[in-house]
Amino acid sequence: MFKARERVWSPYVAGVILGLLLVPAMVMSDTVLDPSAGFLAAGGFLQGHPGDAGDWWQVALLVGVPLGARLSATLSGSVRRAPSPVWTRVLGTASPRARAVAGFSGGVLMLLGAGLAGGCLAGHGLSGVAQLAVASVVAFLAMIVGGLVAGQLLGRS
């Protein structure tokens, strides 16, 4: 259940570890996990706004995520072959262009949403709810509603 070379871990073990990651962030860096802030910082940097240390903390977090995923997949011998089979089923086509449009448009919507709400799934749904923030409870519930509605409209999978 804990071995690094296993392909799958229990979602409960994974969830507990994810939740524990908030501890070093808050205790040692006086910040929370908020990946969308990293994207907003990167976008601001491209527009000439340097951002502050807190923004770049989130960027460093983002840099680590694919590295960790690669390490995990390599250790378990489960590096994926793109694309996931679900896309053909969901989009009704194997077209790479359709897949790219879905990803890109989803990304745009997510950062517009995160900008409006002041946080993303981790920023509100994990870090904010853990602090009992009213804004985060509202935003997190709205994310769930939006996701479920879109899930029903997305097509058969």
Partner 1 sequence: MAILAGAILALGIGVVCGFVLEKSRVCEPGVVIGQMRLRNLTLAKVWFSAVATALICVTLLNELDLVRLHPKPAMMVSDMLGGLLFGIGMTVAGGSPAMALAQIGAGYRDSWSTPLGALAGALGFTALEPALRPLLSLDGPGQPLTLVDISIMPFPAWGTAIGVALFACVMTLERLRPWRRDVGADADGDAASEPTHPPPA
Question: Is-contact 5 75, C-beta < 8 A?
Answer: yes
Q: Which residue type occupies 149?
A: V
Q: Segment 64-123, which members bind partner 1 (CB under 8 A)?
A: 64-73, 76-87, 89-90, 96, 99-123
Among residues 29, 50, 92, 93, which is the contact residue for partner 1, using CB under 8 A? Answer: 29
Q: Encoding tokens for residue 140?
A: 């997190």
Q: Segment 121-150, which members bind partner 1 (CB under 8 A)?
A: 121-150
- Determine if the peptide bond prior to 85 is cis (ω within 30°): no
Q: Which is nearer to partner 1, 43 or 92 (CB)?
A: 43
Smallest separation (angstroms) from partner 1 to the CB of 94: 11
The DSSP line for 35-64 is HHHHHHHHHHHHTT----HHHHHHHHHHHH
Smallest separation (angstroms) from partner 1 to the CB of 117: 3
51 is a site residue for partner 1 (CB under 8 A)? no
